[in-house]
């Protein structure tokens, strides 16, 4: 007799590790750039270029790209920008990693500090967290039927099944979503002579699985600092651009549960003329690099027990590991910080505020998920002088939150994502800075467990002495905890035969019932 088995595909984390690496570089200003008086603002981005898997180690190469906006004392060019990069060459120990394994590496820029050494040189220091994960698609094989069973008319064995609800991995791929956007400055703004600095960040990006496509929607927060035509005054423009679109994805269905990791990349930032031929439109391309994972809830029936009627049947079992989707959870928390500015930076107006959220590894707590981290904001503002000198301040707001999740326990696994919403800053009485934001958390939660599954059955001839010792006709008095299956298994009688002999419509019995057994 042969077991019919079903492969159940599930993601399995083979190994993971993280490490912090510190970077430092002195960067000289090129000869074509003016001298620096002070730093106004900085920004950085970590790019992973190559990951190589070797035995127990992942070798990582990449770079930190940075930009520094600084003030000058040059007439007609009060601000300027320098950019550069710092190489990253690290290795992470990953126990159990093998050569050729696929390793995903995420990088978080935890801190970027730039200082002015002299008028022609900057020092750049950064702290980068590298997180490496090796995941593999695991096939758990479960017996779902018997090729030669009672349903074929041989009546050699009896078997029963039990339901199994699992989240099976049905899609695992990479793709790219591109969008080209533009922002036209209002009529009251001067024309654009040259672009100085920009900040472009997607926010609130949501994905939904549809039939053979994935819909994408969100918004892009944009800020442009530019030199206006004429007197060369430094101007700024910021706005929020909503976007929506769809990505072709063969095989996707609405029933799938998406887990999509999104990394953004800004390209081709430029200025173009409007319909009147005046330079008034900023254009850019935003690329979302997607790692698409999707699972689907599936209801199965697997074999739970087998016994013989005319043959002895042996069973070999093993422990199988499974997971099922438990729930989605989301929550929000408000953060606020009050900051006193130095006297020499008497603020006149906030130009824009950018932010990012950094979370530590989430942990289970009673009734939910414990989250710790910080929201990091950077505020650009100009002072109240006629010249409108630019300054910025970095603010760190601690995050401590419990994301409630009904039914969660220590057996659950989860991945928590966080976004910053409603980022704002305002000037109070010229010397006080009020910063506010809302952190939005969302998580998919799965329950993991092990289940006994039948791996193999063997058949052999019945023990004649044992069979002869069983009565051909008997009345069995049901005890507490007995089932019709247990009685049939004990006396080598099919369950259907017991029901027929006792005129029973179903399998329900209770303690004290008398069951007629005919062999």
pTM: 0.84
DSSP element (H, E) containing 466: helix 464-468
Domain 463-519 of CATH type 3.10.350.10: yes
Q: Mean pLDDT, to the nearest integer, of 237-241?
A: 95
CA-CA distance, 457 to 307, in Å (whole number)?
10
pLDDT tens string 10-25: 888 889 999 999 999 9
Confidence of residue 512 (pLDDT cuts 50, 70, 90): very high
Q: What is the pLDDT of residue 126?
A: 97
DSSP for 111-159, written as a single string? EEEEEEEETTEEEEEEEEEEEEEEEEEEEEEEEEEESS-GGGT---EEE
Q: What is the pLDDT of residue 495?
A: 93
CA-CA distance, 448 to 166, in Å (whole number)?
10
Mean model confidence pLDDT for the chain = 91
Domain with CATH 3.10.350.10 in the chain: 463-519
pLDDT tens string 89-136: 999 999 999 998 989 999 999 999 999 999 999 999 999 999 999 988
CA-CA distance, 59 to 316, in Å (whole number)?
43
pLDDT tens string 462-489: 888 788 888 889 999 999 999 999 999 9
Specify the range with the lowest mean pLDDT, choosing from 150-164, 328-342, 369-383, 406-420: 150-164
pLDDT over threshold 50, residue 154? no
Q: What is the pLDDT of residue 1?
A: 67
Confidence of residue 149 (pLDDT cuts 50, 70, 90): very low
Q: Mean pLDDT, to the nearest integer, of 243-248?
A: 95
pLDDT tens string 171-205: 999 999 999 999 999 999 999 999 999 999 999 99
Proportion of the chain in helix, strand, coil states, percent, rounded to 5? 5, 75, 20
pLDDT over threshold 50, residue 153? no
| HEC sequence for 468-502 | HCCCCEEEEECCCCCCHHHHHHHHCCCHHHHHHHC
Contact status, residue 302 vs residue 142, Cβ threshold 8 Å: yes
DSSP element (H, E) containing 467: helix 464-468
């Amino acid at each position: 007799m042969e077991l019919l088995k079903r492969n159940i595909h599930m993601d399995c984390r083979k190994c993971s590790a993280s490490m912090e690496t510190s970077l430092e570089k002195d960067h000289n200003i090129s000869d074509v750039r003016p001298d620096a008086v002070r730093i106004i603002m900085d920004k950085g981005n970590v790019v992973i270029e190559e990951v190589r898997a070797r035995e127990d180690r992942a070798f990582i190469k990449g770079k930190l790209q940075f930009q520094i906006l600084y003030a000058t004392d040059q007439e007609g060019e009060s601000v300027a920008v320098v950019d550069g990069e710092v190489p990253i060459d690290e290795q992470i120990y990953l126990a159990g990693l093998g050569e050729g394994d696929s390793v995903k590496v995420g990088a978080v820029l935890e801190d970027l500090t730039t200082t002015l050494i002299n008028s022609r040189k900057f020092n750049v220091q950064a702290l980068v967290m590298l997180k490496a994960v090796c995941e593999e698609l695991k096939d758990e094989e479960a017996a779902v039927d018997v090729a030669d069973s009672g349903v074929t008319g041989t009546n050699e064995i009896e078997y029963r099944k039990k339901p199994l609800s699992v989240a099976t991995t049905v899609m695992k791929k990479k793709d790219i979503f591109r969008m080209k956007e533009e922002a036209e400055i209002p009529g009251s703004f001067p024309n654009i002579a040259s672009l100085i600095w920009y900040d472009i960040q997607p926010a609130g990006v949501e994905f939904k699985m549809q039939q053979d496509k994935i819909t994408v929607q969100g918004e892009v927060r944009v800020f442009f600092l530019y030199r206006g035509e004429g007197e060369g005054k430094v101007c700024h423009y910021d706005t929020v651009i909503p976007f929506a679109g769809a990505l072709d994805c063969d095989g996707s269905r609405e029933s799938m549960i998406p887990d999509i990791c999104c990394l953004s990349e800004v390209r081709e930032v430029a200025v173009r003329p409007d319909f009147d031929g005046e330079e008034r439109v900023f254009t850019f391309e935003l690329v979302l690099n997607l790692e698409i994972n999707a699972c689907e809830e599936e209801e199965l029936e697997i074999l739970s027990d087998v016994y013989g009627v005319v043959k002895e049947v042996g069973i070999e079992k093993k422990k199988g590991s499974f997971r099922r989707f438990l729930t989605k959870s989301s929550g929000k928390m408000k953060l606020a910080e009050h900051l006193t500015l130095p006297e020499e930076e008497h603020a006149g107006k906030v130009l824009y505020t950018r932010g990012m959220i950094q979370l530590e590894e989430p942990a289970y707590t009673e009734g939910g998920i414990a989250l710790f981290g910080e929201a990091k904001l950077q505020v650009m503002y100009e002072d109240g002088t006629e010249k409108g000198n630019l300054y910025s301040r970095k603010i760190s707001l601690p995050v401590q939150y419990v994301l409630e999740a009904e039914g969660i326990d220590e057996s659950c696994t989860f991945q928590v994502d966080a976004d910053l919403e409603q980022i704002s800053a305002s000037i109070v009485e010229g010397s006080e800075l009020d910063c506010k934001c809302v952190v939005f958390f969302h998580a998919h939660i799965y329950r993991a467990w092990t289940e006994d599954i039948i791996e193999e059955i063997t058949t052999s001839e019945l023990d004649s002495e044992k069979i002869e010792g069983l009565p051909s006709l008997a009345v069995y008095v049901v005890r507490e905890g007995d089932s019709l299956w247990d009685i049939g298994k004990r006396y080598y009688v099919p369950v259907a035969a017991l029901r027929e002999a006792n005129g029973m419509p179903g399998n329900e019995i209770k303690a004290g019932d008398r069951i007629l057994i005919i062999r």
